[in-house]
Amino acid sequence: LMCASAEATIREGKPCKRIVLHYHDIIFNGTNKENATSAISANATALGKFKFGQLVIFDDPLTEDQNLLSPPVARAQGLYFYDMKSTYNAWFSCTLIFNSTQHTGTINMMGADMMDSETRDLSVVGGTGDFFMTRGIATFTTDTFQGAAYFRLKMDIKLYECY
Amino acid sequence: LMCASAEATIREGKPCKRIVLHYHDIIFNGTNKENATSAISANATALGKFKFGQLVIFDDPLTEDQNLLSPPVARAQGLYFYDMKSTYNAWFSCTLIFNSTQHTGTINMMGADMMDSETRDLSVVGGTGDFFMTRGIATFTTDTFQGAAYFRLKMDIKLYECY
Amino acid sequence: LMCASAEATIREGKPCKRIVLHYHDIIFNGTNKENATSAISANATALGKFKFGQLVIFDDPLTEDQNLLSPPVARAQGLYFYDMKSTYNAWFSCTLIFNSTQHTGTINMMGADMMDSETRDLSVVGGTGDFFMTRGIATFTTDTFQGAAYFRLKMDIKLYECY
DSSP code per residue over C56-100 = EEEEEEEESSS-TTSPPSEEEEEEEEE--SSS--EEEEEEEEEES
Q: Do residue A95 and residue C93 have CB atoms under 8 angstroms apart?
A: no
Q: Which of C40, C59, C110 sits opposite B84 (nearest CB)?
A: C59
**Torsion sign (Cα): C163, C98, B108, A27:** positive
* Residue-wise pLDDT tens digits, B7-20: 455 555 799 999 99
The pLDDT > 70 percentage for chain C reads 93
Q: Do residue C9 and residue A3 have CB atoms under 8 angstroms apart?
A: yes
Check residue C147 and give its pLDDT: 85
Chain A residue with CA closest to B161: the answer is: A2
CB pairs under 8 A between A and B: 126
Q: Do residue B112 and residue C77 have CB atoms under 8 angstroms apart?
A: yes
Q: Do residue B45 and residue C28 have CB atoms under 8 angstroms apart?
A: yes
Burial A49-69 (b: 16+ CB within 10 A, else e): ebbbbbbbbbbbbbbeeeebe
What ipTM was predicted for this assembly?
A: 0.95
Contact residues, chain B, for A2 at CB < 8 Å: 10
Q: Which of B6, B12, B126 sits opposite C163 (nearest CB)?
A: B12
Q: Which of A12, A47, A137 sits opposite B28 (nearest CB)?
A: A47
Residue C93 has pLDDT above 60, yes or no: yes
* Residue-wise pLDDT tens digits, C61-81: 999 999 999 999 999 999 999
Residue C90 has pLDDT above 90, yes or no: yes
Check residue A148 and give its pLDDT: 84
- Per-residue pLDDT, averaged over B42-67, amounts to 98
* B96 Cβ under 8 Å from any chain C Cβ: no
Q: Do residue B93 and residue A110 have CB atoms under 8 angstroms apart?
A: yes
A13 vs C157, more confident:
C157
* Mean pLDDT by groups of 10 residues along chain A of 163 residues: 44 85 98 97 98 98 97 98 98 97 97 97 98 98 93 98 91
- Per-residue pLDDT, averaged over C113-121, amounts to 97
Chain A residue with CA closest to C136: the answer is: A133
Residue B41 has pLDDT above 70, yes or no: yes
Q: Tell me the shortest Cα–Cα distance from A5 to chain C, in angstroms.
A: 5
Q: Do residue C125 and residue A125 have CB atoms under 8 angstroms apart?
A: yes
Question: What residue spans of chain A are helical by DSSP H?
Answer: none
Q: Nearest-CA neighbor of B140 among B163, B160, B107, B116?
A: B116
Please name the chains neighbouring C, where neighbouring means 3+ C-beta pairs under 8 angstroms.
A, B
Q: Tell me the shortest Cα–Cα distance from B118 to chain A, in angstroms.
A: 27
Residue C76: C-alpha distances to residues A94, B144, B156, C84 (Å): 20, 27, 24, 24
Per-residue confidence band for C145, with pLDDT thresholds at 50, 70 and 90: very high
What is the Cα Rg of chain C in Å?
17
* B134 Cβ under 8 Å from any chain A Cβ: no
Residue B163 has pLDDT above 90, yes or no: no
What average pLDDT does the structure give for chain B?
93
* C132 Cβ under 8 Å from any chain A Cβ: no
* Position B115, amino acid: M
CATH of C17-161, one of 3.40.50.970, 3.40.50.80, 2.40.480.10, 3.30.2230.10: 2.40.480.10
Residue C10 has pLDDT above 80, yes or no: no
The pLDDT > 90 percentage for chain B reads 90
Please name the chains neighbouring B, where neighbouring means 3+ C-beta pairs under 8 angstroms.
A, C
Measured between alpha carbons, how far is A39 from C72 in angstroms, rounded to an integer? Answer: 36
